[in-house]
Structure 1
Amino acid sequence: MSTNVSKLEDLGHELGEEIADTPAYQRFEEAKAAVENDDEAQEKIAEVERLRDEFVAARETGEATQSDIGKLQQAQNELHTMPVMEEYLNAQEALQNQLEAVNRAISEPLAVDFGGEAGGCCHD
């Protein structure tokens, strides 16, 4: 049994390496690095995180306002429309689509419906 598990782990590692060599993954890594090295983007990310933290704290005390939501949404919109961030989000979406396709391919031969199994086993 452990030999089969080891083989599956080896295949998983090999699959990960193959995914890392795809254009979608390389595009994502480049876009991520560009965001990490962009001072303006990092400042806007910090602002969004600060506003999100403030909103969460205000919501927990019942003091959140529509103005708080508006400020957070505006900051997020400003961040997402920055060219470097737009490229990152597009690259991230392309990579997620690729990974979902891989996941479907892996799941296809498996005759397991985990949602159906939740209520019990072996229903006719």
Structure 2
Amino acid sequence: MSVETAPDPTETDVESLGEELGEAITTLPEYEAFEEAQRAVEADEEVQAKIDEFERVRQEFMMARQTGTASQEDLQHLQETQEELHAMEPMADFLEAKGDLTARLESINRAISDPLAVDFGGEAGGCCHD
């Protein structure tokens, strides 16, 4: 016969607060803008084609680098392809929205971590790093 113990009410409260925080984050203007920008990127055929091209060029460059045949021109071509992608309005909007959301989430992380003197968004361990 096993004895079940009731969950610690503090644990349950903290988990509930975590769920509420996650739900609240989805209502932030930064999150909503990010979601909208992501949908726009996914729906834009030209952007999707440029993403495919960039991924192909990046993969070719990585293979060339692994075999030691990558040239400065190969790197420049990769950078140019990325710049072309990032210059496309839907992608530029997405990258801006992503940056805004990241900044807001970092702020939220600080608000959670500051009272604990632990950065849970970073590395929380301190004794086992090489």
TM over 0.5: yes
Equivalent AA in structure 2 for residue 25 of structure 1: Y
> Structure 1 residue 97: deviation in Å?
0.4
Please give the root-mean-square deviation of Cα atoms over the aligned residues, in Å.
2.0
Q: 2:60 aligns with which of 51, 54, 71?
A: 54
Instruction: Measure, in 1, the Cα distance between the counterparts of 2:46 and 2:58.
Output: 18
Q: The residue matched to 1:87 in structure 2 has which SS?
A: helix
Match runs of 1:73-112 below 5 Å: 73-112=79-118
2: CA distance between counterparts of 1:58 and 1:7? Answer: 53
Q: Deviations over 1:75-110 (max 9, x none)?
A: 000000111111000000000000000000000100
Structure 1 gap segments, 5+ residues each: none
Shift, 1:67, TM fit: 1.1
44, 60, 64: which one aligns with 1:38: 44
TM-score by length of 2: 0.84
Q: TM-score, normalised by structure 1?
A: 0.88
For these two proteins, the number of residue pairs brought into alignment is: 120
Structure 2: gaps of 5 or more residues: 1-6
Q: Answer with 81-90 or 106-115: which moved more.
A: 106-115
Aligned in 2, Cα 1:119/1:35: closer, same or farther, shift over 3 Å? closer
Kindly state the Cα deviation for residue 17 of structure 1 after the two structures are TM-superposed.
0.5
Q: Distance in 2 between matches of 1:49 and 1:28?
A: 22
The amino acid of 2:12's aligned partner reads S
Per-residue CA deviation, residues 2-50 of structure 1 (Å, 9 max, x unaligned), is 4433322211111010010011100000000000000000000001111
* Structure with larger RCO (C-alpha < 8 A, sep 6+): 1
Among 84, 109, 127, the alignment partner of 1:118 is 127
